[in-house]
Structure 1
Amino acid sequence: MAATAARGLHRTGVALAVLIALTAAAACSSDSDEPAKASPRPSELPSKADSPEGRKPSASAADGRDITACADGNCEIAVSEPVNIPFKGPRGPATLSVTEVGPNTVAYTVKSGNGQSKGSASGPGQGCITVLRSNGSGNSCGGLGDAGRPSPQPDAVVIQAAAGQDGTAVLQLVSDR
C-alpha cells in the first residue's frame, strides 16, 4: 500500500510539474509571428521629450526654430507646436498662424489686412503652398514630393508648409525682397 501511495504522489508531482511548465510557456507565448521583445530598461522608457508637450523639432531647417527669422518674409523654420509667425507681407504686416502640427499633419491660417487664407494637409509627403499677393491669395494642398524651396514671385510671399512624419512641420517663406 505504501508503494501505491508513493506512485500516486509521484504522478501528482509529475502532473504538477507539467502544469507549471505549460503555464510558464503560455505566459511567455504570443499570438504574433514576431519575436518576443524584452521589457524596456528604464533608460529606454519614453521620456517627457518623447511626448507631444516635450517634443522638439527634429527636421532640419536653415533657420532652426527661430520665428524672428521670418520677419522679412524669407525663412525656413521647423515647428512642432502651434505658433504665430509675424512677417512682412505684400501689403504690410501679416501673420502665419500654425494651428495644428502632428505626425504627417499641418494646418495654418495666413492673415494679411482684412483677408485670410487657410491651408491644411495630412498624410505622408503632404503639405500646402499659399501665395500671398497684395490683391489676394491662393492655396494649393496635396503631395509635395521633392518640391524643395519654392521660387519667389513678384510682389508676393510664397509660403510652403510640409508635414513631417515625426510631428514636425517645415515652413518656408519666400519673397522677392
Structure 2
Amino acid sequence: MPNRTKKYVLRGWPRALTTLTILTLTACNSSEEPPAAPPTSTRPHPTPETTSPSPSPSAADGDDVAACTDGNCEITVTKPVTIRLEGPDGSPTTLSVTEVGPNKIEYEVKSGNGQSKGGASGKGQGCLTVLRANGSGNSCGPLRDTRPAAQQDAVVIQATTSADGTATLHVVTP
C-alpha cells in the first residue's frame, strides 16, 4: 500500500505543476490588454460652494455713526470707526471699533479713567459691555441678533459678528 500512495502522489504532482505553470504564464503574458478601466460617472464632481455669505440684517440706523451720539443706536460697521457718546455719569465716552471682518469684531470703550475691551470671532458670536460710572463688565460668546435691554445708570453696548464681514452695534441707554 505505501507504493500506491507514492504513485498517486507522484501522478498528481506533475499535473498540478503543469496547471500552475499554465496559470502563471497566462497571468504574466504581456500581450494581453490591461483590464478595462472602471466605468466613469457622468455626474459632475462636487465643487466647493461658491455662494457668498448672506448679508447681515439691516440695522435701524444703517451705517450712520452719528446716530450713536445720543447713546441709542443700531448701526452696521464694515471698518474701524470711532463713536463719541455720553457715558453713564455724563462723562465723554469713546467707543472704538478696531477690527471688523467675516465673523469677527474687536472694540474698546474708554470713559473717564475706565477702559474696557471686547472681541469675538466665529459665527453668531459677539460681546456685551455694560458701562457704569463705577466700572464696566464684558461678556463675550454666542449672541442672538436682538437689541439689548437698557439698564439703569448704564450704557449697554452689544457688538455682533456677521459672516459677510460686517458687525452690528447696538448702543442703549435708559
Following the alignment from structure 1 to structure 2, what is the Cα–Cα distance between the partners of residues 163 and 147?
Answer: 9
Following the alignment from structure 1 to structure 2, what is the Cα–Cα distance between the partners of residues 109 and 120?
Answer: 9
Q: Deviations over 1:10-65 (max 9, x none)?
A: xxxxxxxxxxxxxxxxxxxxxx8226xxxxxxxxxxxxxx9xxxxxx854100011
* Structure 2 gap ranges (5+): 1-43
8 Å CA contact retained: 2:56, 2:163: no
TM-score scaled by length of structure 1: 0.67
8 Å CA contact retained: 1:59, 1:168: no
How do residues 52-67 of structure 1 correspond to structure 2 at under 5 angstroms?
Answer: 59-67=57-65
Following the alignment from structure 2 to structure 1, what is the Cα–Cα distance between the partners of residues 145 and 80?
Answer: 24
Q: Kindly state the Cα deviation for residue 150 of structure 1 after the two structures are TM-superposed.
A: 0.5
Partner residue in 2 for 1:132? 131
How do residues 9-24 of structure 1 correspond to structure 2 at under 5 angstroms?
Answer: none
Following the alignment from structure 1 to structure 2, what is the Cα–Cα distance between the partners of residues 115 and 154?
Answer: 19
Q: How many residues get paired?
A: 125
Partner residue in 2 for 1:112? 111
Q: Kindly state the Cα deviation for residue 93 of structure 1 after the two structures are TM-superposed.
A: 1.0
State which structure, 1 or 2, has the greater radius of gyration over its C-alpha atoms: 2
Q: 1:138 to 1:74 in 2, by over 3 A?
A: same
1:95 maps to 2:101: no
What is the aligned-residue identity percentage? 65
Following the alignment from structure 2 to structure 1, what is the Cα–Cα distance between the partners of residues 60 and 149?
Answer: 16
Following the alignment from structure 1 to structure 2, what is the Cα–Cα distance between the partners of residues 61 and 89?
Answer: 22
SS of 1:68's equivalent in the other structure is helix
How do residues 79-90 of structure 1 correspond to structure 2 at under 5 angstroms?
Answer: 79-90=77-88
Partner residue in 2 for 1:18? none
**Which of 151, 154, 157 lines up with 1:156 in the alignment?**
154
TM-score scaled by length of structure 2: 0.68
Partner residue in 2 for 1:174? 172
Runs (4 or more) in structure 1 with deviation over 6 Å come to none
How do residues 40-51 of structure 1 correspond to structure 2 at under 5 angstroms?
Answer: none
Moved more, 103-112 or 147-156: 147-156
Computed over aligned residues only, the root mean square deviation of the Cα atoms, in angstroms, reads: 2.0
